Amino acid sequence: MEEAEEIFKEFKEHSVAEFFKKNRQMLGYSGKIRSLTTVIHEYVTNALDACEEAGILPELEVTITQLGNDHYRITSKDNGPGIPKKHMGKVFAQMLAGTKFHRFIQQRGQQGIGCTGCTMFAQITSGKPTHVETNTGKGKTYIADIMIDVKRNSATINNEKEIESPERGTKIIAEYKNIAFTRGDYGAGEYIRRTAIANPHAKIIFKDPNNQRFVYERAVSVLPARPTPGKPHPKGLDVDDLVSYAHSSQERTLKTFLVKSFDRMSGAKAGELEKKTGLDFKRKPGSINWEEAEKIVAAIKETSFLAPSTKELKPMKEKQIREAILNVLDPEFYSIKSRAPATYRGGVPFIIEVGLAYGGNSGKKANGDTRTEIMRFANRTPLLFDSGSCVITKVVNELDWKRYKLKDLENIPLSIIVNMTSTYIPYTSAGKTAISNESDVYREVQLAIMECARDIKRYLSGKRKKHERRTRKQTLVRYVPEISRALEDLTGKKKSDLELKFMEIINKKYGDISLNGEEPKEEEHKPMQEDRRLQGIEAAQEDLKKMQEEQEAKENEDLED
């Protein structure tokens, strides 16, 4: 039996960079196609965030050049604010360092891992540094080759130099091996396309390895309103969160701490919590213990608060979703819903937006068939991978679509677009490819989709009735010439006059229609089920028979007179 000292001889500390090097799949680097798309995702989201925060309309250019078998060079260029020289090493070669994780503000990136992960992945697959050129707009471009020292989680910078240049922005060039480009649903091109859909204020140029150039022009010339730093909402606050916030607070009293630290927490609400808990709120916040924090959290759950402030949330908004749906999908029918702000654990506010598009170019084309397509977004960023573990997919799969006249969800022209906007997206992993199944998020996604589905149900029901009505009209019109000819022999009246009389009766009941069965310009629809069609014909025949009997009775009365 080994002694404890012998066992612990191998006890070592490891840096976070070493951890992610060994577990790079957690950052999204698993599989050749996915790894390439992950790199593009990190560069594009960082560029968009930087441009928007600096108040600059984004112009991005992404180029993928094939150098060999599974060997590519990726170039990302933007017109953003640039990166100060002193921060270059931390931005590109230090895990968990950045401007986002510690702020309660909505941004695409949030962990301070993305760019460093790209540098590390380039380094461990190609052995080469990441080349960076950046200009903060002061007339000089700083150039360097950067690698990451994984044992120290720090940067190694070589070939540094500065040159005179008026061009502002950042350019990144890196080589990667063991990756692959595809034009499929999970490829870099599809990621860029969806990014353009969700960000119409950005101009994006994409050059693929096949020398194809795709230009997504800017659709709007106004930047989205800038999100502002916010505060956590008390609803959903965990005991551990409250203790952590309180013990790091510099406020003099617990009451002041609550009012200044949490959204929608007024002095009156803090006083109400003081009465419910029986605690002294004049004491210092750092003095509360776990049991006291439990009492405060329990009292918060019993207290009503205003909905979270949305000043720090900037969702896509209905107009933008509508433009994206109409421009790309050109649907037969669509419905867009935005839920009121809600919170999930820790009092983190979020907004769920959903768009359902039916018909037209909606859905996903595969082998000549059209299937339902789920387009997932988080803070306007496309989520392509791990759909099975995403709360959005879970809601879609568990919803009873038959209630909404959508019986075969797998084989209908339907696009489901869901965007979650939050100051902190609860991703399932550091790779940021799927949203975790938080119960509050699940419920909001479910309610939004159900609202849109009800609109589609009403549309399809109306479409069915309209089709039945049209079928009756057309059936009646087909019989008009034959009936008029027969009545001409019986009554001696002209066939043309009888036809006009019948058409007048039909048009009065069903709307304008000509003798050849053509209606005024109207949207064409696919035929409904055969039984519905036959029901419509039978009903039309009954109407025509009744009209014929009425006409014959009238003619007989005239003859008797």
Give percent of the chain above pLDDT 90: 42
Q: How many CB atoms lie within 10 A of CB 228?
A: 13
Statement to judge: residues 270 and 402 lie in one domain: no
pLDDT digits (tens, 9 = 90+) for 377-426: 998 889 998 899 999 999 999 999 999 988 888 889 999 999 999 888 89
pLDDT digits (tens, 9 = 90+) for 200-259: 889 999 999 999 999 998 878 888 777 677 788 888 788 998 999 999 999 999 999 999
Statement to judge: residues 487 and 537 lie in one domain: yes
Q: Which residues contact 369 (CB under 8 A, 6 or more apart)?
A: 411
Euclidean distance between CA atoms 480 and 495, whole angstroms: 10
pLDDT at 418: 95
**CA torsion through residues 354, 357, 361, 365, sign:** positive
pLDDT at 526: 36
Q: Are strands 369-371 and 364-366 parallel, antiparallel or unpaired?
A: antiparallel
Average pLDDT over residues 127-138: 93
Say if 313 falls within a structural domain: no
| C-beta separation of 308 from 342 below 8 A | yes
Statement to judge: residues 468 and 388 lie in one domain: no
pLDDT band at 530 (very low <50, low <70, confident <90, very high): very low
pLDDT at 550: 61
**What is the CB-side half-sphere exposure of residue 52 using CA atoms within 13 A?**
25
- Of the listed ranges 38-47, 327-336, 377-386, 426-435, the least confidently predicted one is 426-435
Radius of gyration of the chain (CA): 32
Statement to judge: residues 150 and 270 lie in one domain: no
pLDDT at 549: 63
Statement to judge: residues 59 and 79 lie in one domain: yes
Average pLDDT over residues 433-454: 95
CATH number at residue 24: 3.30.565.10
* Selected residue with higher pLDDT from 150 and 283: 283
pLDDT at 546: 60
Average pLDDT over residues 333-347: 86
Q: Please say if the pLDDT value at position 525 is more than 70.
A: no
Q: Please say if the pLDDT value at position 551 is more than 80.
A: no
pLDDT at 103: 47
Q: Which of 466, 468, 502 shows the shortest CA–CA distance to 483?
A: 502
Out of 149, 184, 216, a domain closes at 216
- Of the listed ranges 13-17, 78-82, 236-240, 337-341, the least confidently predicted one is 13-17
Q: Please say if the pLDDT value at position 561 is more than 50.
A: no
Q: Please say if the pLDDT value at position 23 is more than 90.
A: no
Identify the domain containing residue 492 by its residue range: 460-519+527-560
Out of 273, 301, 329, a domain closes at 301
CATH number at residue 340: 3.30.230.10
Euclidean distance between CA atoms 496 and 70, whole angstroms: 76
pLDDT band at 306 (very low <50, low <70, confident <90, very high): confident
pLDDT at 524: 37
Q: Please say if the pLDDT value at position 534 is more than 60.
A: no
Statement to judge: residues 378 and 513 lie in one domain: no
Average pLDDT over residues 89-107: 62
Q: Tell me which range, 102-116, 133-147, 466-480, is most confidently predicted by mean pLDDT.
A: 133-147
pTM for the model stands at 0.67
Q: Tell me which range, 224-238, 336-350, 443-457, 521-535, is most confidently predicted by mean pLDDT.
A: 443-457
Statement to judge: residues 273 and 323 lie in one domain: no
- Of the listed ranges 56-65, 77-86, 151-160, 528-537, the least confidently predicted one is 528-537
The CA-based dihedral angle spanning residues 238, 244, 250, 255, taken in that order and rounded to the nearest 10 degrees: 30
Euclidean distance between CA atoms 344 and 338, whole angstroms: 17
Out of 216, 250, 279, a domain closes at 216
Euclidean distance between CA atoms 223 and 202, whole angstroms: 9
Domain count of the fold of the chain = 4
Strand partners, 158: 145
Statement to judge: residues 172 and 95 lie in one domain: yes
Say if 106 falls within a structural domain: yes
Statement to judge: residues 483 and 444 lie in one domain: no
Statement to judge: residues 435 and 510 lie in one domain: no
Euclidean distance between CA atoms 405 and 401, whole angstroms: 7
Average pLDDT of the chain is: 82
